Structure formats: structure tokens, C-alpha cells
Amino acid sequence: MTKASATPILLVEDDPLLRQAFRLLLEDAGYDVREAGTAEQALSAVETHPPALVLLDLGLPDRSGLEVARELSRRPETRCIKVVALTGRVGARERQECLAAGCVSYFSKPVEPRELIGRLPGLLEPARGPD
């Protein structure tokens, strides 16, 4: 896959080392990756370069990732962007909070690279209506 035809992903992670590791992994798999380290950077990036998917760390320094997910799902112009949470918490309550905030899925940190790359194509598929 060439960079010109790569699927755009916004990676939102406040830890620069983790962000770099995720970016390299995603780019190696053929994705066009943009980065943000804060909620405000993420919301701005979505407006200027709408991605197909946002990988969203829930523990951001300026706002909760869940707040970002809720805002994206409320805005008509960003409602169709799929949001996938990255979280260190994995309980049923956290999973429900992610889905209620508008996330289509979540990954528990530390993320297994093969699982992330293996699941992304399915997460990027268009939503199917009732058959």
C-alpha cells in the first residue's frame, strides 16, 4: 500500500515514546498516521485532516479521552469517524463507559501489536445496516 492510498488514522497518545512506537507500527502496516498529544490537539487535527479512525488514549493531560470521544460523537461533521480507546483499565465498567462515549472498540494497554494490526481492518469497515 502506498502512502497516498493509506487509510488515515489519528493517533492520540500523550506519552511521546508510546506515540512513536504506535506510529512506527501503524506506518509499517501501511496506515497514514497523524499524531496528537493532547485532547485539544486531537480535536484540532480532526477538523483539519479528518481521519477514518482515531486511536484515543483515555488518560490525556488536558481532558479525558472519554470527553473527546463524546464530543466527536456529538458533532455532525465528526460523528462518522470511528474512535477506538486505548486504556490501561480493562474492567466491564470501563468497557461500558468507552462504548457509551461513542467508541466502537478499545484496546487494553499494553497493546499486543499483532492484535492491533489484525483488528484494525475490521474496525475500519463501514457499519452495516440491518439485513
Global pTM?
0.91
60-108 tens-digit pLDDT: 999 999 999 999 999 999 999 999 999 887 788 888 999 999 999 999 8
Checking if the pLDDT of 35 tops 80, the result is yes
Q: Which residue segments constitute the domains of the chain, with CATH numbers given? A: 3-123 (3.40.50.2300)
Residue 34 and residue 45 in contact, taking contact as beta carbons nearer than 8 Å: yes
pLDDT the model gives residue 3:
41
Instruction: Indicate if the pLDDT at residue 128 is higher than 80.
Output: no
Describe the strand order of the beta sheet including 32-36 as a list of residue ranges: 32-36, 8-12, 53-57, 82-87, 105-108
> Among 45, 64, 60, which residue's Cα sits nearest to residue 102?
64
The answer to whether residue 131 scores a pLDDT higher than 80 is no
The average confidence (pLDDT) of the chain is 91
